[in-house]
Amino acid sequence: MADTNNFAFPYLEQALQINATMLGLPILLLVVAGCLGLACLLFAVPTFPNKWIPSVTILWGLFLNLVGTPLTTVANFVRALILGLVAGAVSWILFKKFGQRWVSPDTFKQNGDTEHTTKL
């Protein structure tokens, strides 16, 4: 019988290897990557105001770090809070410095949409 996994999912083995590699990374790198992705997505959505992107990104970093860190003691909880806020802020600074030039606010615009001139 033929191996159906390679036929049906040709990139499954590669995805599993990437997953295994990511499991070995420190959680803060994954939190920063997740926050950068969210910041790019929110910046590309024309109806989402720019003034809320830093707050949402920092809170998302806090949430992701709390979910990804084992909270066995109060000290671990406080450490996760502080590092989550710092990771969210760092990801926002990285996005502000480097990421904005690669993301267009017109990414999700469809044919026939009303032209908008500025984002708030």
**Is pLDDT of 66 > 80?**
yes
Mean of per-residue pLDDT scores for the chain:
78
The pair of structure tokens assigned to 45 is 């959505």
pTM over 0.75: no
Of 112, 77, 106, 88, which Cα lies nearest the Cα of 38? 88
Q: Average the pLDDT over 41-55 and give the result.
A: 86
Residue whose pair of structure tokens reads 């044919």 in the numeric block? 111
Give SS3 for 1: coil
Q: Answer whether 100's CB lies under 8 Å from 38's CB.
A: no
Cα-Cα-Cα-Cα dihedral sign, residues 69, 73, 76, 78? positive
80, 66 in Cβ contact below 8 A?
yes
Which whole number is the average pLDDT over 31-51?
Answer: 87
- Tokens matching residue 54: 């830093």
At residue 1, the pLDDT reads: 41
pLDDT at 11: 74
